[in-house]
Amino acid sequence: MNNTVTTLTPLERILLLNQYRILERLGDTDGCNTLPQIILALHEGYISHALNLIQKYIDDPVPDSIQEEVRSILGMFRVVDPLRSGEAATPLFLGFSKDTEEEHYHYTQFLSWAGEEWNESLVPGRDYASDHSVLNEYRAMLRVYRDTALPLHGELDLEDRIRILTEAPTEVKRIAMQRGLLPSA
């Protein structure tokens, strides 16, 4: 973890110990096979050992800047892509590379699962894995998008949509052309 905790107050230790005991009794280990060791270490006072075990169990936090960037990209696609949930057409948003844009990819997957705010942009259960890196092209699209003056009703005119989509990854351009959102080359 980025902000490593090295000690616990007696109250924090008791609260954490009780939480882990409850998890153990409920059987809610969520893949944590070191739960008994964490409980014993907290009980016996081996705080640094317990905290090391806990840190292996919990993922590092995704930086706020990455979360904001993903939300900005999704917000842009919400405006650029007039597709609404329930329509049969292929959406323009491809997702992110699992290999090179892992944090972006996982946050997008989380939003598709938990983010009602993104229901019109993300289909729950769909895997938003691109087979190649797309982040630099999404960032170029965002720069153009931010330079447009969106009307109050939040729709783009054809010229602005074309300027933004010109910066898109090749696959997005292909889908946009098939859907008539971008003129054929």
137-179 residue pLDDT tens: 999 999 999 888 665 556 788 889 999 999 999 999 999 998 8
- Say if residues 111 and 118 touch (Cβ distance below 8 Å): yes
Structural domains in the chain, sorted by start: 10-57 (no CATH), 64-178 (1.10.3190.10)
DSSP 33-82: TTHHHHHHHHHHT-HHHHHHHHHHHSPPPPPHHHHHHHHHHHHHHHHH--
* DSSP, res 116: G
Residues pairing with 130 in the sheet: 97
46-104 residue pLDDT tens: 999 988 888 877 777 889 999 999 999 998 988 888 765 556 667 889 899 999 999 99
What is the C-alpha separation between 122 and 112, in angstroms, rounded? 5
1-39 residue pLDDT tens: 445 667 899 999 999 999 989 988 888 666 667 888 999
